Structure 1
Amino acid sequence: MKASKFYISTFKEAPAEAELTSHKLMIRAGLIKKLGSGLYTWMPMGLRVLKKIENTIREEMQQAGAVELLMPAIQPAELWEETGRWELFGPQMLKISDRHDRPFCFGPTHEEVITDLVRNELNSYKQLPMNFYQIQMKFRDEIRPRFGVMRAREFLMKDAYSFHADIESLKHTYDLMFKAYNAIFTKLGLIFRAVQADNGAIGGDGSHEFHVLADSGEDEIVYDEHSDFAANIEVAKDHPDKRNLKTCRGIEVGHIFQLGTKYSEAMKATFINQSGKPSPMIMGCYGIGVSRIIAAAIEQNHDDKGIIFPESMAPFEVIITPIGYDKSSSVKEGVDDLYQLLIAEGYDVLLDDRGLRPGIMFSEAELIGIPHRITVSETTLKENKYEYKNRSKTDAEMIASNDLIRHLKSV
C-alpha cells in the first residue's frame, strides 16, 4: 500500500477526556475517531488491526471445529422474556420499539437468538455436538462510557455457542476452545493469563477469563507462584492455601462458560437422545472482545513515542521511509524495487511516498507502531545498504541490501 493512496490521520495531542494510554494513542495514531459518547468510527488504520485479529480468531475457531454464521443485531423481546433476562439484564440493554410498538433490543449477547435457532434446526443426538460462532458488533448502554474502546457502548465481539448431548461432550469442546483461546492470544503476541472465574450474569457451571496483564487493568488477578492456579479475586477467596498467592492487574479480553442447560431448559431446546426420548441440550459459550484486544495490547506495548504493536496485529508489518523519493530517480527506482520485493516475500508493506520530511515520517511510523522501518536514501543505495529500525529497539542499524529479507525473518 502506498501512503499517498491510503488515509493516514495522526495528531500531536490527545483529547483532554482521554484517560488511558491506549485511548490517547488510538486517537493520536488515527486508529479511531470519536462520534459520540462510547461510539467510535474505526478509521482505515485501525480497521486493518481489527481485521488481522479477526483472521487469527477465524483460523483458531476453524481448527477447534467451530462454524461461522452471522445473527441479527436486533433481537425481539419475547426471546429474552423466555429466559427472564429482558428485565434481569438491566439498563445496559439498549431497548427500542418498531413502528408497531413491538419491543426489541440491540443485542448485547446472543444466547437467546442462537438457542432459538438451534431448537428449530437440530433435533437429534446425531446432529450433535455443534459449535457456532460469529464476529459482530454488540451494544451495551454503559452508564459511563470511558477509556475509549475499552468500555464503549458499541464493540466488536467474537461469540461462540456449542450444543451437546452430554456433559462429556461439552467438556471436550470446552477444552478445545480453552486451547484455541490460548493459541489466539499467543499468536497475537500478548502476555496473558487464563483464570478461574465467576459466571456472573451469563450463568452456568464453570468458566475461565482470559486477561492481558497490564498495570492499568481494572481487574485484580490472583495467582500461585508454585502451581497453575490463577483466579479473579472473588474466586481466589476460596483457595485453601493463600500463602503463595500473588496479585497482578489484568484486562479481560475473553471469557468461556460451561452453561449446562440454563438456556435450553428455559427455551425448551431439546433433542431426541439415543433412548428415543427428548432431552435438553447442554450448552457452552465462548466470547472474545475483539476491539478490546487492541486497547489491551497497547496498554501492554507502548513507550513515550507511541504504540509498539506485536507484528501479528500491526496495521502494516513494514514501512519504507524513503528520503528524496520525489526528487531522486535512483531513490525512486530503488524504493519501488524494494517495495515489490517485500510484497513478493509476503510482507504487508506501507510505502510512505508523501514527500514528508524524514523526522515526520519517522515519528508517525513510531506513533502508529509499525514493527519494521526501512529507510532508503541516495547514501544507503551507494553503499548497497538500508537503514533498518525495529520499533521495539532504540537504535537503527545498517543492513546490507542482499541480507534484508533474512534479517527481517530473524527478528
Structure 2
Amino acid sequence: MKQSKLLIPTMREIPNDAEAKNLQLLLRAGFIRQVSGGVYAYLPLATRVLKKMYAIIEEEFEKIGSVEIKMPTLLPSSLLENTSEVGYDDKAYNLKNRTGKEFVLGSAYEGLISELIGDEISSYKRLPLTLFQIATKYRNDKRSRFGLLRSHEFILSDAYSFHATEESLNEMYRAYQKAFEHIFERLGVKVKGLLGDSQIDEQTDAFEYMALSESGDKIGAFSTGSNYASDLQAATSAFVSKKSHEPNKEIEEVTFAEKENLEEASQALSIPLQKTIKAQLYLADDTPILVLVRADQKINELKIKKHLEAAQLIAADETQSQAYFQTPLSYLGPVDVPDECKIYADLQVQDLANALTGANKEDTYLKNVNPDKDFPVDQYADLRLVQEGDTSPDNLGTLELKKGVEVGRMIKVGTYFSERLKTAVLDENGQHVPVQMGYYELGISRLLATIVEQNSDEEGINWPAEIAPFDLHIVQTNMEDEEQTALTNSVEEMMLEAGYQVLVDDRQERSGVKFADADLIGCPVRITVGNKANEGAVSIKFKQTQAKIEVKKEELVSTLAILLNSEG
C-alpha cells in the first residue's frame, strides 16, 4: 500500500496536553486524533492494528467454544435496574428519544444477556453456552486520564458463559484463563495475574490482569517471596502481633479547640499515629457499626462488607453521626458507644496500649485508651488496606505495592443475576435450578495503549509482529531516481508474493523525514531503497533490535525469512 494514499498525519512535536506516553506515541505516529477529552478517532494505521487484535481474540475464544454476538449500543434505562448494584448506572450516558423514553449508551450487559438466556433457554441440555462481543462502550467519568488507558469511549471485549452447575462454570473459567494467556502472548504484552475485587458480590471470586505502568490507576500487592499477587482492595497480609507491654494508664480527656482531627491532636501531643485509634461510623444494611483502625492506616470497606456479609455499606455523614453519637465525625471514638452500635476493630488495634482516640465530644480526645479494658470489641478482623512491607499472607516474603493498568478481568458471577432475574433451567431431575454465570472482559483500547507503552523507544513504537499495521515498510529515498523506483516496485511485488503486508513510502519528502516517520510508525522491518539501487542492493533495519544488514534483491526473501524467525 502506498503511503501517499493513506491518512498518516505524523507529528514532530509532542502536543502540550498529551501527558500519557501512549497518547504521545499514537498521536505523533498518526494512529489516532483526539476529538475531545477522552474521545478519539482511530485513523487507518490504528484500525489495521485493531483488526488484527480482534482476529486474535476471536480465534482464541472460538477455540474454547465461545460464539460471537452483537448487542445494541442504545439500551433502555430500565435494563440497568438489575445491574445498579454493580456500579455502572452512575457512570452511564443518559438520553431520551423524542417521545421521552429514557435510554443509556451501553456499558454493562450482564443483566441484558442474562435476561436473554432466561427467555431462550429452559433446559440444562442446552448448556454450557458461552458468548462474546467486541464493541465500543461508554463511561461517563468526571474526567478522562492517561490517553486510551481511561477514556469516555473505549473498545471492550465482554464474554459471558452460562452453566447448569458450578463445576461446569469452574471448567470454563479455567478455559478462559488459558485463552487470555494465549491472547496476551500473541499481542506481545506483559501482564500479571492477580486476585481481584468482583465489584458484584464480596463472596464472588474475581481474577484480574494488570500491566505494570506508572500511568496506571490501579495498585497491586505482590509478594517478594512467592507468587502471591492481589489487587490492593482484595489484598490481605499475615497478622504479626506486636503487643505493647506498657502498663495501662488511666484515661485522660484532652481538649483542643483548634485541632480539627485526630492527626492534628496526635501531633500536638507528640503521640505517633501508630498509637492512635481512628473510628469510622458506617451503616451496614441500615445498622450502625463503628469500625476501628490505627490512624496511620486506611479502612478497607470491601473487607468490612465481606466480613459482615452485608449487601450495602455506607459511610455515615455528619447528620447520621449527630443522630447516633451527638458529635461530629472527627471526634468519634470507641468509649461509651451507644448500645445499638457494634464495634469491629482491625487486628492491629488489639496490640495497642494507652492509645489516643476521639471522645465522642466536640474538640475533645481521650488519652490512655486500652482495647477491651476501656471499650468492648464485638469482633477483631482484618479490616484495613495492606501497606508496603506487610508480611505476605502465605508468610513468604513481604508485600510490594506497584501501580498498573487493569487490561482484563474475569468473575465467577454464579447465580447473582439469575436469582434476581429468575433465570433458571430444568436439571436432569426436572428441578428448576438458577443458571451459573461467568464474566470475562478484555479492555482492547487499554491493551492497545499498553502494547504501545511496553513496546517503544525514543524513536517511536516497536510493534509486535502479529499486530503491526504492516510487516514491512519500504522507504525510497529519492522519488526522482528511476532506478530506485524500478527497484522499489520490484521489491514490493516480491514481498507481496511472499505473503508480507507492505507499506511503501512514495511521498515527495526528504529521506530524513521518511526515516523519522518510519521510526515513529514502528513496523517491524524497514527496507531502504537508496544509493545502491543501481547494484540491486537494499538495506534492512529491524526496528526492535536496531540491527541493519545490506542484501541483494534476489536474497531478500530468504534473508528475511531466516532473520525474522531468529528475531521471533
TM (normalized to structure 1)? Answer: 0.94
The aligned runs of 1:13-32 (5 Å cut-off) are 13-32=13-32
Separation in 2, partners of 1:347, 1:155: 30
Separation in 1, partners of 2:397, 2:531: 63
* One-letter amino acid of the counterpart of residue 125, structure 2: K
- Which residue of the partner structure matches residue 397 of structure 2? 243
- Which residue of the partner structure matches residue 386 of structure 1? 538
Is 1:257–1:284's contact at 8 Å kept on the other side of the alignment? yes
Change (3 A) 1:265 1:317: same
Is 1:204–1:262's contact at 8 Å kept on the other side of the alignment? no
Separation in 2, partners of 1:116, 1:97: 23
Q: Post-superposition shift, 1:248? A: 3.3
1:317 aligns with 2:471: yes
- Which residue of the partner structure matches residue 515 of structure 2? 362
Greater shift, 123-132 or 290-299, is seen at: 290-299
Q: Please point out which of 461, 468, 472 is paired with 1:307.
A: 461
Is 2:221–2:400's contact at 8 Å kept on the other side of the alignment? yes
Separation in 2, partners of 1:167, 1:296: 34
SS in 1 for 2:467: coil
Is 1:204–1:258's contact at 8 Å kept on the other side of the alignment? no
* One-letter amino acid of the counterpart of residue 182, structure 1: E
Separation in 2, partners of 1:188, 1:23: 19
Separation in 2, partners of 1:191, 1:118: 35
* One-letter amino acid of the counterpart of residue 404, structure 1: T
1:53 aligns with 2:53: yes
The aligned runs of 1:118-267 (5 Å cut-off) are 118-201=117-200, 205-238=204-237, 239-241=393-395, 243-267=397-421
Q: Post-superposition shift, 1:98? A: 1.8
* One-letter amino acid of the counterpart of residue 551, structure 2: I
TM (normalized to structure 2)? Answer: 0.69
RMSD over equivalenced CA pairs, Å: 1.9
Separation in 1, partners of 2:124, 2:211: 38
Q: Post-superposition shift, 1:398? A: 1.9
Separation in 1, partners of 2:201, 2:70: 20
SS in 2 for 1:356: coil
Change (3 A) 1:381 1:266: farther
Is 2:22–2:450's contact at 8 Å kept on the other side of the alignment? yes
1:271 aligns with 2:425: yes
1:71 aligns with 2:42: no
SS in 1 for 2:10: coil
Separation in 2, partners of 1:9, 1:225: 45
Separation in 2, partners of 1:139, 1:188: 24
- Which residue of the partner structure matches residue 292 of structure 1? 446
Change (3 A) 1:266 1:122: same
Q: Per-residue displacement from partner, 1:199-243 (whole Å, max 9, x unpaired)?
A: 125776211111123343332223335543222223332424262
Tell me how many residue pairs correspond in the alignment: 408
Q: Per-residue displacement from partner, 1:36-73 (whole Å, max 9, x unpaired)?
A: 12111111111111111111111111112100000011
1:353 aligns with 2:506: yes
Q: Post-superposition shift, 1:9? A: 0.7
Separation in 2, partners of 1:205, 1:381: 68
Q: Please point out which of 499, 504, 525 is paired with 1:372.
A: 525
Is 1:135–1:157's contact at 8 Å kept on the other side of the alignment? yes
* One-letter amino acid of the counterpart of residue 338, structure 1: V
Separation in 1, partners of 2:69, 2:167: 25
Greater shift, 357-366 or 219-228, is seen at: 219-228
Is 2:10–2:29's contact at 8 Å kept on the other side of the alignment? yes
Separation in 1, partners of 2:222, 2:202: 24
Is 2:487–2:533's contact at 8 Å kept on the other side of the alignment? no
* One-letter amino acid of the counterpart of residue 194, structure 2: V
Give ranges in structure 1 of 5+ residues lacking alignment.
none
SS in 2 for 1:303: coil
1:341 aligns with 2:503: no
Is 1:204–1:257's contact at 8 Å kept on the other side of the alignment? no
* One-letter amino acid of the counterpart of residue 208, structure 1: F
* One-letter amino acid of the counterpart of residue 522, structure 2: G
SS in 2 for 1:307: coil
Is 2:83–2:110's contact at 8 Å kept on the other side of the alignment? no
Separation in 2, partners of 1:361, 1:95: 46
Is 2:88–2:108's contact at 8 Å kept on the other side of the alignment? no
Q: Post-superposition shift, 1:84? A: 4.2
Greater shift, 7-16 or 155-164, is seen at: 7-16
- Which residue of the partner structure matches residue 104 of structure 2? 105
Is 1:71–1:113's contact at 8 Å kept on the other side of the alignment? no
Greater shift, 68-77 or 392-401, is seen at: 392-401
Larger radius of gyration: 2
Q: Post-superposition shift, 1:184? A: 0.2
Is 1:308–1:370's contact at 8 Å kept on the other side of the alignment? yes
Is 1:321–1:351's contact at 8 Å kept on the other side of the alignment? yes
SS in 2 for 1:53: helix
* One-letter amino acid of the counterpart of residue 375, structure 1: T
Q: Per-residue displacement from partner, 1:352-383 (whole Å, max 9, x unpaired)?
A: 1113211111100111121111101241551x
Separation in 2, partners of 1:120, 1:14: 52
- Which residue of the partner structure matches residue 359 of structure 2? none
- Which residue of the partner structure matches residue 329 of structure 2? none
Separation in 1, partners of 2:45, 2:83: 40
Is 2:4–2:505's contact at 8 Å kept on the other side of the alignment? yes
Q: Post-superposition shift, 1:400? A: 4.2
Q: Post-superposition shift, 1:111? A: 0.5
- Which residue of the partner structure matches residue 409 of structure 1? 565
Greater shift, 217-226 or 307-316, is seen at: 217-226
Q: Please point out which of 550, 553, 556 is paired with 1:398.
A: 550
- Which residue of the partner structure matches residue 116 of structure 2? 117
Change (3 A) 1:153 1:201: farther
Separation in 2, partners of 1:241, 1:342: 56
Change (3 A) 1:279 1:351: same
Q: Post-superposition shift, 1:385? A: 3.1
Greater shift, 32-41 or 207-216, is seen at: 207-216
Change (3 A) 1:250 1:176: same
Greater shift, 329-338 or 200-209, is seen at: 200-209
Separation in 1, partners of 2:50, 2:203: 30
